[in-house]
A and B are shown apart, each in its own frame.
Chain A
Amino acid sequence: MHDLLIAPFADYAFMRKALIGAIAVALGAAPIGAFLILRRMSLTGDAIGHGILPGAAVGYLLAGLSLTAMTVGGLVAGMAVALGAAAVSRRTAQREDASLAAFTIISLAAGVMLVSLRGSNLDLLHFLFGSVLALPDDALVLLAGIATVTLVAFALLFRLFVADALDPSFLRRLAPRSGLVHYAFLALAVLNLIAGFHALGTLMAVGIMILPAAAARFWARSVGAVVVVAVAIAVASCVTGLLLAFHLDLQPSATMILCSGVAYVASLLVGREGSIATRRRLPSAVPA
C-alpha cells in the first residue's frame, strides 16, 4: 500500500511537484467549470482553452519557453477569444455554438503552426499535453497563485456568480453594475485555463475544468454542493491519474483527465440527480 500510494511522492521530488501543481489546478478549475456548466457555457470554456494556444505560442516565439512570456501571451489571446466569441454571436445571425467551434479550431491550427515555426516536436507536445512531471518552481508558484485568487474571488462573489448565472437580467435591474461580474468570471476562467495549459497542456486543460463539474451535477442539489463535489472529483482524479501514470508509465495529463472521465460516466449512470438510473425510476420514462 505504502509503495503504491505514498512512495512515489516520498521518493521523487518531481512527483511531489506534479501533485502540488495538479491539485492547484484542480482547486481553481473545478469551481469555474461548475459555473460554466450552469451557464451552459462549456463550449465557451473549450474555445478559450484552445484560444490560449496561439497567444502562448507567440510568447514562445519571442522569448522561448519562458513562463512569463507564454502566460502573458495566453492571457491576451484567451481574453480576446472570450470576448470575441460573445461579440460575434451578438452581431451575426449565427448561433454561438458555430462561432465557438470556429474559434476553437482556428486557435488550435494557428497555435500548432506557430509553435512548429521554431520548435521541435517535443516543444509541440509540451504545448498540447503540458509538462506536469517537469514543472519548474516558478510555474508552481503561478499555479498556486491562480488557485488562491480564484478561491478568494469565489468566496467573496459567490452570491453574485450564482445570481448572474441564474437570472442575469434580474440581477442587472437590481444591481446595474453587476455586468462586471460576468467579465470577472471570464477573466478567472482564462487564468485557470492558463494554469491548466502549463500543467496539462492545451488539449487537456478544459478537461479538468468541465468533466468533474459535469459529473458533480449528477450528485448535488445546490450550487455550493456542485462546487464542492466538483473540486473533490477533480483532486481525486489528479491524484489517481498521477499514480497510475507513474506505476504504469502512462502519459500523465491524459491519464488524469481519463480518471475524471471515468467519474463522469459513472455519475451519469448512477448519480442521484437526473442520471440514467434516476430517470428509469421516474414514471414519465415508463413507456405507455
Chain B
Amino acid sequence: MTAAPRITVRSLSLGYGGRPVVEHLDWNITPGSLTAIIGANGSGKSTLLRAVAGELRPLAGTIDGLDGIRTSYLPQDAGIDRSFPISVADFSAMGLWRKVGAFGRIGRHWSGETERALGLVGLSGASRRPIAALSGGEFQRVLFARLILEDADLILLDEPFAAVDRETTADLVGLVRQWAAEGRTVVVALHDLDQVRQHFPETLRLAARRGVQGATAQILSVLGPAPVPTVPATMLRGGAVA
C-alpha cells in the first residue's frame, strides 16, 4: 500500500451512447473512508464504479486523485468462466500481478502470501481445488482472496454480497471493514440498507441522475425511519433481504 488517496469527483456526467445516467456529480472520497453507494436499480451505481475504476470514459467532468495509486475493482458479474481449468491458488495468485508481473517467478514467498490470503477468506486447505468445484459463495471468497493479494489503496466493489449466503456475507463484510481499518479507501455499491446502516459510515445516494453524499445516518434518515426505506425500488430489494 502507498499513501491512502483523496479522490475528488467534479461535475461528473456518465452514460452510454450520449444518454446520461449520472449528471453533474460532485463527490469527495476521503482517505481511508468506508463508503456505500445506494440507489434504485438503474440509478448509476455500477456506472459510477466503472468510471472510477477507469473502465468508462466520463461524458463530462473529472475524477482526480487516481494517479499513482493502486485501484482494485470487483464488478458485480466478473464474467469469469467457472469451468476454466485452474486451481484456487493459481486463480487467487493473479492478484499478485503488479508485484510478480507476466514473467516473474511465483516462489515460496508469494505462495505463502497466497495461502495466507486464502486463510483470511476462510478457504485454507482449498488451494489445490479447481475453481469449477466451488460453490457460488466459495468462489466469491476466492475473488476476495485475489483482492487481498492486490493490496490496493482504493477498493471498489459492486454488489459483492448479492449472490452469497448469510455466513459468507458476514465473513466478507468483516474483510471489508478490516481493509478500511488498515487505511485503505473502500467504496461498495449495495442495495441492502441494513448492511449499509450497520457497517458503512459514509453513504452516497444516487437518484434521478443526481448524487447526495453524507454520513450514513443522515442520508438514510432522509429516506424515512429505519428499517423501512421509502424509496420504492430500494424498499423492495432491501425488504427482501431483511
Contacts and interface: CB of A to CB of B under 8 A. Distances in A.
A273 to B, nearest CB: 8
A163 B81 CA distance: 12
A174 interface: yes
Contacts of B78: 167, 169-170
A163 to B, nearest CB: 6
B174 interface: no
A166 B86 contact: yes
Contacts of A273: 85
Q: Is the interface of B mostly helix, strand, loop or mixed?
A: loop
A221 interface: yes
Contacts of B53: 173
B91 A166 contact: yes
A225 B85 contact: yes
A38 B97 CA distance: 21
B69 to A, nearest CB: 13
Contact of B86 (A156, A175, A222): A222
Contacts of B150: 174
**Size class of A's contact patch?**
20 to 34
A173 B73 contact: yes
Nearest to A273: B85
A273 B150 CA distance: 31
A95 to B, nearest CB: 16
Nearest to B133: A221
A223 B80 CA distance: 15
A159 interface: yes
Interface string B169-183: 000000000000000
B159 interface: no
A162 interface: yes
A40 B91 CA distance: 19
B97 A226 contact: no
B128 to A, nearest CB: 9
B54 interface: yes
A220 B87 CA distance: 12
A232 interface: no
B75 A274 contact: no
Contacts of A173: 53-55, 71-73
Given A159-B103, A166-B80, A221-B130, A171 B97 contact: yes
Contacts of A157: 102
A223 B54 contact: no
B80 A174 contact: no
Interface string B88-129: 001100100110011100000000000000000000000000
A163 B94 contact: yes
Interface in A249-264: none
Given A173-B71, A173-B73, A222-B87, A166 B102 contact: no
B71 to A, nearest CB: 7
B83 interface: yes
12 contacts: A38-B84, A166-B86, A166-B94, A167-B78, A167-B94, A169-B78, A173-B54, A173-B71, A175-B97, A178-B102, A221-B85, A221-B130
Interface of B: 53-55, 71-73, 75, 78-81, 83-87, 90-91, 94, 97-98, 101-103, 130, 150
Given A166-B91, A174-B97, A175-B101, 17 more contacts: A38-B81, A38-B84, A38-B85, A156-B103, A159-B103, A167-B78, A169-B78, A170-B78, A171-B97, A173-B53, A174-B98, A175-B97, A220-B85, A221-B85, A222-B90, A273-B85, A274-B83
